[in-house]
């Protein structure tokens, strides 16, 4: 996560002219969010039919668009409650679709080693990625910060985007299987990290509330 944070400033600098152009032409953030989701669904479809490199490319493009919509909303003074809800909801659709597309490829492609294990990992990965996001949303709904964790959405996009784009699925789809299993394990660890973090933060908040009432 620290490495990704270090890359944010140069990334935003590169795409700032595009963000400014979109703001100047009054392109709504929700429109950009919709385009990003369309790219994710296209990526899932490409993965599912065996065009793994295209799947990786479109997933990376969707990640760029997903970042741009937030920049347009903030810099263009177009932040809305519905926009935040819409963006978060479509992100969850994208997360599930990506694992589903990869799972479809691993289930149907010939000569896939460890087919059953990798398809199961995709199923667990869908659940874990959704719980990672839900845990943060639920915690923030309770007034608690919950941004901890070693694997969030950005890591999933990069790991399922860059290696498949350059190396494909690998012999017997081994590269793709390793990535899926790794992401699933990291997501499960992140779920545990967030539960532990919120447990401590909630107890501290409850204790502070009791002391205030005394």
Instruction: Please report, for residues 11, 114, 117, 191, the alpha-carbon distance to residue 120 in angstroms, rounded to integers and kept in the order given.
Output: 35, 10, 5, 18
pTM of the model: 0.87
* pLDDT bucket at 128, cuts 50 / 70 / 90: very high
10 against 120, higher pLDDT: 120
CB 109 within 8 A of CB 169: yes
Q: Which residue has the tokens 């690998």?
A: 170
State the distance between the two ends of the chain, measured CA to CA, in whole angstroms. Answer: 41
User: Residue 35 and residue 20: Cα distance in Å, rounded?
Assistant: 18
Domains located in the chain, CATH noted: 2-213 (1.20.120.1760)
What mean pLDDT is reported for the chain? 89
Contacts 24+ apart (CB under 8 A), 56-62: 56/160, 56/161, 56/162, 56/163, 56/164, 56/165, 56/166, 57/161, 57/165, 59/98, 59/157, 59/160, 59/161, 60/157, 60/158, 60/161, 60/162, 60/165, 62/36, 62/37, 62/94, 62/157
Average pLDDT over residues 3-25: 78
Q: Which residue has the tokens 């479109």?
A: 58
User: Residue 158 and residue 147: Cα distance in Å, rounded?
Assistant: 18
């Amino acid at each position: 996560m620290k490495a990704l944070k270090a890359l944010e400033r140069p990334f935003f600098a590169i795409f700032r002219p595009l963000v400014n152009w979109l703001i100047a032409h009054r392109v709504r953030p929700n429109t950009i969010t919709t385009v990003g989701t369309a790219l994710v669904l296209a990526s899932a479809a490409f993965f599912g039919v065996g065009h793994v490199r295209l799947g990786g490319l479109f997933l990376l493009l969707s990640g760029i668009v997903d970042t741009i919509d937030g920049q347009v909303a903030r810099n263009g003074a177009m932040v809305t409650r519905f926009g935040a809800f819409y963006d978060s909801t479509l992100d969850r659709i994208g997360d599930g679709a990506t694992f589903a597309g990869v799972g479809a490829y691993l289930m149907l492609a010939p000569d896939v080693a460890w087919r059953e294990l990798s398809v199961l990992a995709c199923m667990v990965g869908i659940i874990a990625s959704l719980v990672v996001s839900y845990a943060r949303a639920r915690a923030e709904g309770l007034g608690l910060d919950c941004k901890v964790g070693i694997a969030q959405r950005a890591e999933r996009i990069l790991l399922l985007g860059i290696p498949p784009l350059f190396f494909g699925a690998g012999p017997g789809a081994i590269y793709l299987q390793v990535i899926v299993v790794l992401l699933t394990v990291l997501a499960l660890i992140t779920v545990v990290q967030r539960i532990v973090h919120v447990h401590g933060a909630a107890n501290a908040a409850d204790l502070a509330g009791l002391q205030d009432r005394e």
